[in-house]
Amino acid sequence: MIKYLFAKEKDIPGGTAAIFFSFSAIMWFIIGTGIGSFNAAKLAFPDWFTHLYALQFGHMRQVHVHAVIFGWIVGAFAASAMYVVPQLGNTKLWSEKLGVWNCMLWNVGLALGLATLWFGMTSGREYSDFIWPIDLFIALAMVLPLFINIFMSIVTRRTQGIYTTNWFFAGSFFMLIIVFLIGNAPEFFHLTGLNEAYMTWWFAHNVLGLLITPVAAAITYYIVPKVTGNPLYSHRVGHLHFWSIVVFYSTPAAHHLMSSPLPEWLKSFASVEGVLILVPAVAYVCNILLTMQGKWAMFVENVEIKYTITGVLLATPLNMQGGFQQTRAINWYVHGTGWIVAHAHLALLGFSTFAEAAAVYYGIQTIARRKLYSLSLANFHFWMLLIGFSLYWVSMTIAGLIQGAGKIYEVPYMDIVIAEHPYMIVRWLGGTMVFLGNFVWLYNMYMTVKVGEKLPEGLQPQDIAYAR
């Protein structure tokens, strides 16, 4: 990587930035899930590993969250965008060098940010925990170059129209900058009270709604037609998806604070808008699943489609939960329980991670022009991820329902903790499976780049058979 930082633009092979981003994203995924697994162990067995004070739960929880969100999720988005956008535009990345620098600054900034959080330097606001100097660094040195690179690659494309995937890439990275700067404004300008609390959740909501969900969807809009060879079922439904994301997904931030004393009109408005999130959600899922017509055998036979469609199928319960759990009728029962933790992992570890894993699998093969090293290892990784995630999701959902019942019947809190104990153990096992599976993945990807079968000229990875 170092040698490309100071190389001339023309000397840097196409796809370098995407490869760097892919591998650093996998690394952060391993680090993030490793910390997550450790945290889960602490919740199941609090006196395990007693004297490692450096790994206190209260310090490590936010390190897990941000390593996974910024390192893995957004890192893999960057990796995907950096090879998908040029391919869709029949062109090269606007600046491969900027991409390489972007990846370097990304890793440095994130490492710095996580170190400060670990050290206890925090703004004390969930999801915008980073202290404001780090926030500024993220916005200006990490996200802004990414947006410029992607946007300029779209502008300098050599095709006529702009495909659905690219609407989302361009729109979402642009909105991320705005969301990030406005969402962290309470720190820059020292806003206080409920304004600060509301803006904290405005940020948390929009970082998911305007970045993670739409970009994960954008990836599947690319992978499914590309790998199956089917055209996208409906461009128009794609329009509906895009515009309803912008209109409906950007407004319900207050539904995260349904039990706090915010103005009632705001909570009611957010709740109604929150149900309307089902519009883009249903449009999207139908569009992708209908694109699969006649190619469902690939769901079993092809690794990328297996990951992508699993992600899309997981988006169905995700959206149904998301649309309804924030209404007053349901929120009072599940608010602040493990149910929400399960839902958050369904969005990030379920839907997004599966979609992105597909993009990384496919991207590394197409950029390196080599076929996947091992189908068996990829399948092993798939099942570790899916079973691990399912254990996590089911156990936390049950724990959340127990907690909700305990909450509304005002059961002594200790009894709830005791009742949740078995589910805390299962969640730890599930998280650990995900963590361990990722090592296999890293090995498989490394071997693909090194010794994978070379793709013949003019063929794509899905066109030739798996070697092992």
The footprint of another protein on residues 272-311 (CB under 8 A) is none
Site for another protein in 309-338 (CB under 8 A): 332, 335-337
Closest approach, Cβ 230 to another protein, in A, equals 25
Strand segments, DSSP code E, in 183-245 are none
236 binds another protein (CB under 8 A): no
340 by DSSP, 3-state: which? helix
335 by DSSP, 3-state: which? coil
CB of 20 within 8 A of CB of 435?
no
126 binds another protein (CB under 8 A): yes
* 107-115, 117-125, 354-362, 363-371 -> range binding another protein (CB under 8 A): 117-125
Site for another protein in 33-62 (CB under 8 A): 42-44, 46-47, 50-51, 53, 56-59, 61-62
Tell me the CA distances in angstroms from 89 to 66, 77, 279, 458, one per residue in order.
32, 17, 29, 17
158 binds another protein (CB under 8 A): no
**Residue closer to another protein, measured from CB, 383 or 413:** 413
Closest approach, Cβ 395 to another protein, in A, equals 14
- Per the document, the length of the chain is 468
The one among 200, 325, 326, 444 contacting another protein by CB under 8 A:
200
The one among 110, 197, 218, 219 contacting another protein by CB under 8 A:
197
Cβ atoms within 10 A of the Cβ of 317, count? 15
238 binds another protein (CB under 8 A): no
CB of 372 within 8 A of CB of 434?
no
119 binds another protein (CB under 8 A): yes
CB of 338 within 8 A of CB of 58?
no
Phi then psi for residue 216, to 5 deg, are -60, -40
188 binds another protein (CB under 8 A): no
The one among 13, 229, 263, 294 contacting another protein by CB under 8 A:
263
Cβ atoms within 10 A of the Cβ of 62, count? 17
| CA–CA gap between residue 225 and residue 227 (Å, rounded) | 6
136 binds another protein (CB under 8 A): no
CB of 384 within 8 A of CB of 353?
no
182 binds another protein (CB under 8 A): yes
Across the strands, what pairs with 370? Answer: 454
The one among 108, 188, 195, 383 contacting another protein by CB under 8 A:
195
Site for another protein in 337-376 (CB under 8 A): 337, 340-341
* 24-32, 296-304, 347-355, 412-420 -> range binding another protein (CB under 8 A): 412-420
Binding mask 424-463 for another protein (x = CB under 8 A): x---------------------------------------
266 binds another protein (CB under 8 A): yes
CB of 244 within 8 A of CB of 276?
yes
Closest to 226 in 3D by CA, of 288, 168, 170: 288
Closest approach, Cβ 428 to another protein, in A, equals 12
Which two three-digit tokens encode residue 96? 């491969």
192 binds another protein (CB under 8 A): yes
Closest to 62 in 3D by CA, of 122, 13, 109, 107: 122
* 219-227, 248-256, 280-288, 453-461 -> range binding another protein (CB under 8 A): 248-256
CB of 307 within 8 A of CB of 354?
yes
